[in-house]
Amino acid sequence: MDNNVKSPRRYVPLDYSFRFKRNKSTGLPFFLDNLGDDLLLVLLAFVPFSSDPISVALAIFFFHISFWTVYEIGYFENDAVSASLEHEAKVTPGFDRAATYFSERQAWLWAVAFAAPGALLVAWVTKPEAAGLFVLLYLLTWIALLGCLRAVYYAYNRIDKLSRVWVYLPLQILKYGFPLLFFYLPAAGAALIFAQCLRRWVPYIVYRYGRSGLVGLPSKVLRILSFLSIWLLLLPSNLSESYLIHGGIILGWLCLRGFKQTRKVVREMQHVQHDKWSSSGGMDS
């Protein structure tokens, strides 16, 4: 990061992610990776066989930007918590400068503004006869999802490093599966999204547990979350009594088999302030 670059005087959406959070020396620039990989993958999962591909794609684009505006709050908060609470504080270079102008309140306002045209497009596609009424309903529904995202990331930032492994997966599912709130997801699209979630999650597991050769990894908990994730992703395209009952039976058996490991994982969770996990490197969420 060039220290000669002047900090903006006011908050700009995604500026923290672009200028500070992403290490450009080890990967693609933020926007190139975010739009060329994350957004493109979501579009490929949802758009090709939709009833109105152009409108659906545009709606997903606006929701994607809205989503990341709130997701970025978690990025910033992660550094803030690390600086103030963690045993081994490690923050993004430039955090101190960004802290002078980053605003969660403004981030939320921008997120709602970005989501508004997305909600309008969803209403246009799904309820054209009463679009005005449904725009507000869809916008409120979207804000509720952003609230869920914020809560998950809040918890992620405040638990110990090993326990974050289990919160990391829901973050990825929200990141790539958010259009499920409004649009049908074909089975092939669900497989693509879950493959992407695993692509993010497995390296993160190795990063956190790898020092012991994964010996301490609770594999049965991993199995429960893997099944639950793909089952939920496929639910909208397989909404039937048999699918729900079958999935419930399987999930019950998996939880029974993994009860001891799950209980151990929950009991070992602790506040990040008391975390003893240490590393020589970092990994973005």
Burial of 17 (0-12, 13-18, 19+ CB in 10 A): buried
The pLDDT of residue 221 is: 83
Residue 283 has pLDDT above 70, yes or no: no
pLDDT, tens digit (0-9, with 9 covering 90-100), for 26-58? 556 788 888 888 899 899 999 988 889 999 999
- The answer to whether the CB of 163 falls within 8 A of the CB of 15 is no
**Tokens describing residue 222:** 């991993």
Residue 109 has pLDDT above 70, yes or no: yes
Q: How far separated are the first and last CA of the chain, in Å rounded?
A: 19
Torsion of CA 276, 82, 174, 142, to 10 degrees: 140
The pLDDT of residue 54 is: 95
Q: pTM for the complete prediction?
A: 0.78
Residue 116 has pLDDT above 70, yes or no: yes
Task: Categorize the per-residue pLDDT at 284 as very low, low, confident or very high, splitting at 50, 70 and 90.
Answer: low
Nearest to 190 by CA among 40, 46, 35: 46
The pLDDT of residue 1 is: 42
Query: Average of pLDDT values for 162-179?
Result: 93
Query: Average of pLDDT values for 76-83?
Result: 88
Query: Average of pLDDT values for 10-14?
Result: 90
The pLDDT of residue 27 is: 56
Per the prediction, the chain carries an average pLDDT of 84
Task: Categorize the per-residue pLDDT at 67 as very low, low, confident or very high, splitting at 50, 70 and 90.
Answer: very high
Q: Where are the domains of the chain?
A: 15-274
The pLDDT of residue 2 is: 46
Query: Average of pLDDT values for 209-223?
Result: 70
What is the DSSP-derived secondary structure letter of residue 20?
Answer: I
The pLDDT of residue 7 is: 47
Which of 89-98, 119-128, 237-246, 270-279 is least confident? 270-279
The pLDDT of residue 231 is: 87
Query: Average of pLDDT values for 144-166?
Result: 94
The pLDDT of residue 279 is: 57
The pLDDT of residue 211 is: 64
Any alpha helices (H) in the chain, and if so which ranges? 15-16, 30-33, 40-46, 53-85, 95-98, 104-126, 131-158, 164-177, 187-209, 219-234, 241-257, 259-268
Higher-pLDDT residue of 217 and 2 is 217
Cα–Cα dist 222/233, whole Å: 17
Angle between helices 164-177 and 131-158 (to 10 degrees): 160
The pLDDT of residue 18 is: 85
The pLDDT of residue 273 is: 73
The pLDDT of residue 150 is: 98
Task: Categorize the per-residue pLDDT at 69 as very low, low, confident or very high, splitting at 50, 70 and 90.
Answer: very high
Task: Categorize the per-residue pLDDT at 216 as very low, low, confident or very high, splitting at 50, 70 and 90.
Answer: low
Query: Average of pLDDT values for 136-157?
Result: 96
Higher-pLDDT residue of 8 and 210 is 210
What are the b/e assignments for 180-216, b being 16+ CB within 10 Å?
Answer: bebbebbeebbebbbebbbebbeebbebbbeeeeeee
Cα–Cα dist 111/65, whole Å: 7
Any alpha helices (H) in 159-258, and if so which ranges? 164-177, 187-209, 219-234, 241-257
Higher-pLDDT residue of 281 and 188 is 188
